[in-house]
Structure formats: C-alpha cells, structure tokens
Structure 1
Amino acid sequence: MEEPIGSCCIICGHEKLEGLRIINEFICESCELEMVRTEVQDAKYPFFIHQLKQIWIQKNA
C-alpha cells in the first residue's frame, strides 16, 4: 500500500499531509498555528510576511 503524498510547506519547506492551500501554495498545520500565534513584535513575524508575499508574487508573475 502506498503512503499518502504530502505537500511542501512554503514556510518550513517540509512535506506534510495536513494544512491549508492558498491559491497554489501549501502551508502546513504547524506553521499555520505558529503564524497565528506570532505577535507583530516577534522576530519571526517579518519572515512569515515575506513567505506569504511569495504566494502573491508567484500568482502575478
């Protein structure tokens, strides 16, 4: 029996099964949870914004 094929998360780069799709990109469940819990002042916040911008850049390319 074949194992289910996951999708590559645009945030962490790992292949995961659970998550959400925005346009043609995938965000794994763990990254989604981390993003929604991250405060604007957190050092990781700009990284998340940069990664999410890639969705719109690729869509409009």
Structure 2
Amino acid sequence: MEMEKDCTCIICGQEKEQGIRIVSHFICEDCEAEMVRTETEDAKYRFFIGRMKKIGLQKNA
C-alpha cells in the first residue's frame, strides 16, 4: 500500500496518515479537531488562520 503524496500537516508540520485534504494541502486529524474547538478570542486562532492562508483560497467578490 502506497502512502499518499505529501501527508505533512500544514498546521503542525508533522507527517501523519489520517486527516483531510483541502485543495492540495493536508491537515491532520489532531489539528482539524483542535481548530474546530478553538474560539475566535483564543490566541491560537490567529495561528490557525495564518497557517490556513497557505492554502491560497480566495473569495470571489
């Protein structure tokens, strides 16, 4: 069984087997779970936003 191409999490930088793929970027299950529990007032929220910018999705105005 071949491991998927680049399973390095864009949030924590660790190589993991389980997670989600958004466009061509991988987010591990642990980071995904932490992201959905993080409140907008939490200092870690800005960290997650910064990492998610790597995906490069742009809103259509």
TM-score w.r.t. the length of structure 1 is 0.82
- Name the Cα RMSD after superposition: 1.7
Find the counterpart in structure 1 of residue 20 from structure 2: 20
Runs of 4+ in 1 over 6 A off after TM superposition: none
In structure 2, what is the equivalent of residue 5 of structure 1?
3
- The answer for unaligned runs of 5 or more in structure 2 is none
Q: Identity of aligned pairs, percent? A: 56
Q: TM-score, normalised by structure 2?
A: 0.82
Q: What is the rounded CA distance, in whole Å, between the counterparts of 2:25 and 2:17 in structure 1?
A: 13
Q: Specify every segment of 5 or more residues in structure 1 that has no aligned partner in the other structure, as ranges.
A: none
Structure (1 or 2) with the greater strand fraction: 1
- Count of aligned pairs: 55
